[in-house]
Amino acid sequence: MAEAKKLFIKTYGCQMNVYDSERMAEALGTSGYVTTERAEDADMILLNTCHIREKAAEKVYSELGRFKPLKAANPALKIGVAGCVAQAEGEEIMRRQPLVDLVVGPQTYHRLPAMEAAVQNGARAVDTDFPEEDKFDHLPRGPRATRGPTAFLTVQEGCDKFCAFCVVPYTRGAEVSRPVDRIMTEARDLVARGVREITLLGQNVNAYHGQGDGGDWTLARLIRALAKVDGLERIRFTTSHPNDMEDDLIAAHGDEPKLMPYLHLPVQSGSDRILKAMNRKHTAESYLRLIERLRAARPDLLLSGDFIVGFPGETEADFEDTMALVRAVHYGQAYSFKYSARPGTPAAERETVADDVATDRLHRLQSLLTEQQRATQTGMVGRELSVLFEKPGRLPGQLIGKSEYLHAVHVRAPADQIGQIARVRVTESVTNSLAAEVI
């Protein structure tokens, strides 16, 4: 029996890239690969890249440079670049880095086994098409191992919103929803392998409109169907766009107990002028009214968001509008960034805000968001929560899990409780997590 080849995957960016990396590993499993945690042990290295952050491509080239000694020591080592930087920079990566054997975009990784076979025969392979076939229909299945208690499941890809700062429509393509039956089959398979909580993924996941029995299904209808799967105890979804938050999805937050009370709903700015410049197609007021409706349906809903400061043309008054919106919403968690130009996007050609001004605004915004996050966590002390135990903690006899509000929770409990859900009482709020005891 031939010795298994070893695959090392380094994943950057969003949860969808985590999911994609898992599927790439499964696909290459049909070619005899098993995963390894060490690049030094690998027969193939894959970088699954993200193009959202500043200088993403240069960071990939820097990372590739670190693998030169490994390639020199083992000329048979194959190196590939996948994901959104691969989509944007395909031929350029091959030109600048001769050590790269293959480049594959996020819509064509189902072709990885054939590409791997080609590079084993001495070819260099690039595939950054937007193919007509659905990659999920053509992904070969590798070994189906037991899973941890949580998993991601992609239900929607691509984006039609064309926000002025974002590369996703160019690297992931147009919005596409997966058929209902394939999602349900994959969900049941995950549950059979030990998964208790599934997070549904999409660039605009609440734009989901997949085909199923009776025609077009919304995300809310999909969630209600998944909630009937025996053994699946928790459902989440991310990332949402305010303009796609339909009435039935708002209602599901109030009446579907398996849908967790946590929602990531990016707004990006509190200034209508900047929102228009971003091509967001919503206003601060419409966003606030949406939050009111969501909280009316689920009063304990914990909200998370994304913010960009220093967008081209942003004034101090625009920034103060953002601060006012944050105070009005009170986020339990949020992500905030200075604007960085992405080549090829409309905003990249506009005059930028001075870096020191943007940095100052970012620090002020993050201070307010941190204050709100700490207040939310402190408010959990003394409360009873439901925690799904996921893995051992750093201390002996400690387990780490997630509450229904997505807080990390540390609890003393036996290791055989991993994968179980328990009621706990929060005893302390610590940095980015909670301490609790089993009731």
3-state secondary structure of 307: strand
Domain 5-135 is found in CATH 3.40.50.12160: yes
- Give me the numbers of helices (H) and strands (E) for the chain, helices first please: 14, 21
> What one-letter code names the amino acid at 169?
P
Within the chain, all domains assigned CATH 3.40.50.12160 are found at 5-135
The per-residue DSSP string of 90-107 comes to HHHHHHH-TT--EEE-TT
Is 146-378 a CATH 3.80.30.20 domain? yes
pLDDT in tens, the chain (439 residues): 557 899 999 998 778 888 889 888 988 998 899 999 999 999 999 999 887 665 667 788 888 999 999 999 999 999 999 988 888 888 888 888 999 999 998 878 888 899 999 999 999 988 877 655 565 666 666 555 567 899 999 999 889 999 999 988 887 888 999 999 999 999 999 999 999 999 999 999 999 999 999 899 999 999 999 999 999 999 999 999 999 999 999 999 999 999 999 999 999 999 999 999 999 999 999 999 999 999 999 999 999 999 999 999 999 999 999 999 999 999 999 999 999 988 889 999 999 999 999 999 999 999 999 999 999 999 999 999 999 999 999 899 999 999 999 999 999 999 999 999 999 999 999 988 999 999 9
Does the domain at 384-438 match CATH 2.40.50.140? Answer given as yes
Q: What residues form the annotated binding site? A: 14, 50, 84, 159, 163, 166
Feature table: binding site for [4Fe-4S] cluster:
14, 50, 84, 159, 163, 166
85, 60 Cβ separation under 8 angstroms: yes
**Beta strand ranges found along 209-323 (DSSP E):** 209-212, 215-218, 234-238, 262-264, 302-309
C-alpha 258 chain-centroid distance: 20
pTM, rounded to two decimals? 0.83
